[in-house]
Amino acid sequence: MQNLRKKFPVLNQCIYANTAATGLLNEDLMEWRQEHDLDYLIGGSEMKMKSFEAMSDIKATVGDFFNCKWENVALVPNFTLGLNMLLDGLPDNKNVLLLENDYPSLNWPFETRNFKTQYVEIDEKLEDSILEKVKTGHIDILALSLVQWLNGIKIDLDFLKNLKKEFPDLLIIADGTQFCGTQDFDFQASGVDVLVASTYKWLLSGFGNAFVLVKEKAKEHFKLKHIGYASVGGDSTKRENIPFCKHLEPGHLDSLNFGSLQFSLNFLKDIGIHHITAQLEKLSTKAKTGFSSLGLLEEKVVLRNMHSTIFNIKGDKELFKKLEQENIVCALRGNGIRLSFHFYNTENEIDAIMDILKS
């Protein structure tokens, strides 16, 4: 991992603990993007027409990375647009279970439509609370982030798998934005029916690209409404026979952004997702132990067995300013300061942050 740090020049200037806000651009991807635009500069429309043809290949790369058939992958500009297009295809008056203080772009689209929403608290008993609600609340849809944006609490994926087995008619919609790129994820074998994720964070793909993964059986829940010329690939005769995922792609897809996604997935694959996970587990354990020893973590985070590498420590604007002055890049979120670590971070960096917090 030490050699990989050289590909991220920002790391020479600071301790970057802000991947939960924005993943870093690496030199290899920057070079690919420059070559892409040079090809466009000298190739014009011919280059762009070829790039549109490559979208199926990009979907195949996404599908391979997460074990999902390429035809069940949709490319969308961001998580929020993807989710809203999906929800426009759901019937009204569904009973939806959400998590309190989950990411606004996940909860708000449900709350502003004609759904009946119920909530569970995000705490150390999160899974038990979800199970109890599903058993007693006549829930049709469970929608949640796999990793919480504010404090990094991570849902037990085995729990979701067992929940789906026990309640096969429950539609589980997941936000994977703070999760995808942190561990191996077999979508087909998971309990998730629909996963939507922006890829500018842990997948390091830059902005303007996201994806939707959907299981075959889950399509029965939706009657998608969005449509455009790109839905039929420029062939008007196909208007009455549009595949599910093409409803989520009504307009053109940008070859720079989605090419960046493909490049980044191959980059992470070359590193090895298991190597990435091993590094993140080390960082998570070290950070959780250190921050909890200083009494900086919420009790619900300390009490949970598993955790991501996103931490919200107790602190005010004064402490935040102090961290900034020490060249720690982090973010004010919720009632504290959010620190998040990716594979390009080190245990020594966590030690350095701990020393500042102790002082």
DSSP H helical segments within 90-169, as ranges? 104-111, 126-136, 157-166
Instruction: Give the pLDDT score at 324.
Output: 96
Which of the listed residues 270, 288, 317 is the one where a domain comes to its end? 270
Residues 252, 280 share a domain: no
d(CA 25, CA 257): 13
Any bridge partners for residue 120, and if so which?
A: 99
Which of the listed residues 237, 253, 270 is the one where a domain comes to its end? 270
Residues 123, 9 share a domain: no
Which of the listed residues 210, 243, 270 is the one where a domain comes to its end? 270
Residues 278, 249 share a domain: no
Instruction: Give the pLDDT score at 49.
Output: 87
pLDDT digits (tens, 9 = 90+) for 35-88: 999 999 999 999 988 888 899 999 999 999 999 999 999 999 999 999 999 999
Q: What is the CATH number of the domain that holds 167?
A: 3.40.640.10
pLDDT digits (tens, 9 = 90+) for 244-266: 999 999 999 999 999 999 999 99
CA distances from residue 294 to 109, 115, 302 in whole angstroms, order as listed? 38, 43, 12
Return the residue matching tokens 């006549």.
138
Residues 246, 212 share a domain: yes
Burial level of 359, CB count in 10 A (0-12/13-18/19+)? exposed
d(CA 344, CA 143): 31
Instruction: Give the pLDDT score at 53.
Output: 84
Residues 248, 328 share a domain: no
> Per DSSP, which regions of 6-81 are E strands?
15-16, 73-76
**What DSSP state is assigned to residue 71?**
G
Give the pair of three-digit tokens for residue 163.
């929940």
221, 90 contact by CB (below 8 A): yes
Residue of 309, 311, 315 lying closest to 335 (CA atoms): 315
Residues 94, 9 share a domain: no
Q: What is the CATH number of the domain that holds 303?
A: 3.90.1150.10
Residues 202, 184 share a domain: yes
Residues 309, 249 share a domain: no
Any bridge partners for residue 197, and if so which?
A: 211
Residues 306, 346 share a domain: yes
Residues 221, 191 share a domain: yes
pTM: 0.96
Instruction: Give the pLDDT score at 52.
Output: 84
Residue ranges of the chain whose pLDDT lies below 70: none
Return the residue matching tokens 């009790």.
299
Range of the domain at 21: 3-25+273-358
Phi, psi of 117 (to 5 degrees): -100, 140
Distance of CA 317 to the CA centre of its chain: 27
Cα 97-112-201 angle, rounded to 5 deg: 70
Residue of 130, 101, 99, 96 lying closest to 113 (CA atoms): 96
Residues 321, 186 share a domain: no
Helix (H, G, I), strand (E, B) or coil at 168: coil
Instruction: Give the pLDDT score at 51.
Output: 85
How does 291-309 read in b/e, with b if 16+ C-beta sit within 10 Å?
A: bbeeebbbeebeebeebbb
156, 147 contact by CB (below 8 A): no
Residues 239, 139 share a domain: yes
Residue type, 175: D
**Total structural domains within the chain:** 2
